[in-house]
Amino acid sequence: MRVEHGPQLWLIALYGFVTVTDEISNRAATSVGRRASPSPSSMTFSEFQQLIRDMYLRKDVARGIEGTFMWLMEEVGELAAALRHGTREEQAAEFADVLAWLTTIANVAGVDLGQAVAEKYGAGCPGCGQLVCVCPDAGKP
């Protein structure tokens, strides 16, 4: 699975899309006996969340939010290591893992990521309200 990052991530988040490779999308679709998403190289956050729900929800609910959060933290550590010393492919794989585990927690908690992203970032920066953030560098975001 490949997730775009850098400036593209903000555009992807703004429009609610996450990019995945054809291979992973098609394999996952085949494994649950359904066709791949209309555009196998990209899907909305909501479609990705449904894909993760279809693949893992039973295990995720059994593990619970706390156990799943620990897996997310492990993946964040692996992403940090990949950003320091990994190849672009290793970095992309770790971004995908972090996104998948975050999505898993959202599923267990009953949060629709597509809706959450659209509500928080769809109209621009939550701090200044602009599509290109003009918040002071010392503050968040």
| pLDDT per position as a tens digit, 85-105 | 999 999 999 999 999 999 999
pTM: 0.68
What burial class does residue 128 get, using C-beta atoms within 10 Å of its C-beta: 0-12 exposed, 13-18 middle, 19+ buried?
Answer: middle
Q: In sequence order, what are the beta bridge partners of 18? A: 43
Question: Looking at the domain 7-121, which fold is it?
Answer: Helix Hairpins (1.10.287)
Write out the two tokens for 15.
């429009």
The pLDDT tens digits of the residues spanning 125-136 come to 999 999 999 999
